[in-house]
Amino acid sequence: MTKPRYLTKSVFKLALECPTKLYYAKKTNIYPDSRVDDPLLEALAEGGFQVGELARQYYPGGVNIDVMEHEEALRQTNEALKLENVVIYEAAVRFENFFIRADVLEKKGNLIRLIEVKAKSYDQKDSSGFLKSNGFLSPNWVPYVFDIAFQKHVTLKAFPKFRVNAFLMLADKTARTTVDGLNQKFFLNRDKDGRVKIVTPPGLKRDDLGGKILVEVKVDDICEDIFNDTALPEKPGHEKPFPKWLNYLSDHYKQDKKIITPISIVCKNCEFVCDSEQEKAGLKSGFKECWKAQLHWSDTDFEQPLVFGIWDYKRKARLIEEGTYFMKDVTDEDLNLMPSESEDISRSERQRMQIDKAVNKDDIPYTEVEGLRNEMASWKFPLHFIDFETTALAIPINRNLHPYEGIAFQFSHHVANSDGSIEHKGQYLNTNRGTFPSFDFLRALKKELDQDEGTIFRYAAHENTYLNFIYRQLKTTNEPDKEELCEWITTITHSSDSQADKWEGERDMVDLCRMVRLYHYDPYTKGSNSIKKVLPAILNHSKYLQDKYSKPVYGTAAIPSLNFKDQVWIKTEDGKVLNPYKLLKPLFEGVTDEALDSFITDENLADGGAAMMAYAKMQFMEMTESERKFVMDGLLRYCELDTLAMVMLWEYWNYEVCCT
């Protein structure tokens, strides 16, 4: 028998992004999916399974529908619903070609409460809730609220004699844990079939969990707005009332018929793409298929740089709507080109430069030498390069912490001296289970940086943001040295906008990412300012760095390292220097670190996605000592390379600016 093609929650989510995706979905033998579909990695990235289990603990004694087969899941659910009052986990509900699994379904008489659990934070003090100031649903909440609205619609149709209330259960930003070790009560594991499971301690009771850190938010009013097509200024997908739109999606999915969706900015993140090797193997790109059909393009058109890649350009959607797809067609007026009045590169100048170099196939980097030289002249030796690895766990480690309250668990520290000598000077890594590391992290960092008055460097805002965060955490504690630590933080940072106290440290860290944005553009990066893109770019253009690091000098007496020995960083393939990050062993076997980073939805944290997930793995999965050592060694090497990359960037500029 042919397996039924039900419109499920996950399939509906795809349709909400783009209805055409229904045709490409689940056909990886034809249309490869660039997203890594691994529930365990997703659980490590988001904490969704643990939040889901915590929600179940708030509804104890429920019937767990633990089978994957649709018909059996429906049978078990319907059997449980014969009870007057019952709680069901993963309840299966079907109406026609719709099929859902509800996280928690509570039945009391003829009332059904649908509870969709999401590992997303919610601020009860925010009066706007899920809405924007104009009264429409915020785009950030669309996937979550439409999900539960879809479930409510299916449940109402399947059980027309019941009243149905819909809720989102979310992490409460205003709540604090009241017990220690809460997150250690929810371990991740795979069962014999490879499915992700949560393992809880034997005899776990509700009282062991302390005060609630999840909040139920009733969303029936917003669901009604969705049903009446008044939740958004425009209807999602085609111009059909919501129930008819669902039927339209369901019919096309069941019959495997493609829905033609107009080209838009949404195409930028299409996962149904192919690389050249996959195409040679006979696989197809859903992205290309759509664009060829609607725009009558040939394969050569896709070789031209598209407007999707323009750095920090907010009007891409408008360009696409107007039919401007190629960078070559973007005008100065489109960019609102405004030359800088100082010795740096303005935002629009940088965009113009990126477009011109991409269109003209000009791979020569540009440096605003005078501005860069003036900034570098103010730096004081020894130079300190630091990088943090941090995370924010859905279920906190210790008492008195909010859900998703940030913690810092690792840093790396390189030093460059006035004579040009370089050393990997120090590092910190704390992966102990159930341990809040941030304050010991800070003490270790202070010890590293408190020996002199040399300039300190970070890459992007992350380190400044987290030190501000730790400052606020310290202020609420009884740590004996909190005033000393807080005072020290104010010397090497500046206060963030959200900080009540205001300061600008005399030794405020220099942001090398800002320096890249203002003074340097390399076409090799394709507009990205990520250190993982900047590093291979400078290595491919600098003979100085190539000559120096093609020898096994790193991890020797010449350049001491804490984690490498006789390391050669310059290796080539097809005439190009390989990205040094690709020389490191992946933290997760068989999964690239780029793929791991893709699980992180916050683009400001994406570069550290692999480290965040590795930390979560060490917190929430059973591992042998050798497995733990492998992951810890990997974390230390990755973080060391982050600060070495900053050193190499400084060396590149120092040579190019001062010696040419």
The pLDDT > 70 percentage for the chain reads 96
What is the DSSP annotation of 457-501? EESSSHHHHHHHHHHHHHHTS--TTHHHHHHHHHHH-B--TT-SS
φ and ψ of 85, to 5 deg: -130, 130
Give the pLDDT confidence of 3-20 residue by residue, as tens digits.
789 999 999 999 999 999
pLDDT (mean) for 421-449: 96
Whether residue 660 has pLDDT greater than 80:
no
Compute the CA torsion angle 569, 554, 508, 366 (nearest 10 deg).
Answer: -40
Give the pLDDT confidence of 25-50 residue by residue, as tens digits.
999 999 999 887 777 888 888 888 99
Of the candidates 379, 373, 557, which has an alpha carbon nearest to the alpha carbon of residue 452? Answer: 379
DSSP 311: T
Whether residue 288 has pLDDT greater than 60:
yes
What is the DSSP annotation of 275-305? -HHHHHTT---HHHHHHHHHH---GGGGGSP
| The pLDDT of residue 657 | 77
Q: What are the residues whose beta carbons fall under 8 Å from the beta carbon of 46, sequence distance 6 or more? A: 119, 394, 599
**Tokens encoding 286:** 């859903």
pLDDT (mean) for 124-132: 87
Whether residue 125 has pLDDT greater than 90:
no
Residues 363, 523: contact at Cβ < 8 Å? yes
Position 192 confidence tier, pLDDT thresholds 50, 70, 90? confident
Alpha-carbon distances of 443 from 231, 470, 639, rounded to whole Å: 49, 11, 18
| The pLDDT of residue 1 | 47
Give the pLDDT confidence of 152-178 residue by residue, as tens digits.
999 999 999 999 999 999 999 999 999
Whether residue 108 has pLDDT greater than 80:
yes
The whole-model pTM stands at 0.94
Give the pLDDT confidence of 371-399 residue by residue, as tens digits.
999 999 999 999 999 999 999 999 998 89
First-to-last CA distance in the chain? 73
| The pLDDT of residue 35 | 84
Mean per-residue pLDDT over the chain, rounded: 93
Whether residue 605 has pLDDT greater than 60:
no
Question: Could you give the CA distance from residue 618 to residue 168 in angstroms, rounded to a whole number?
Answer: 29
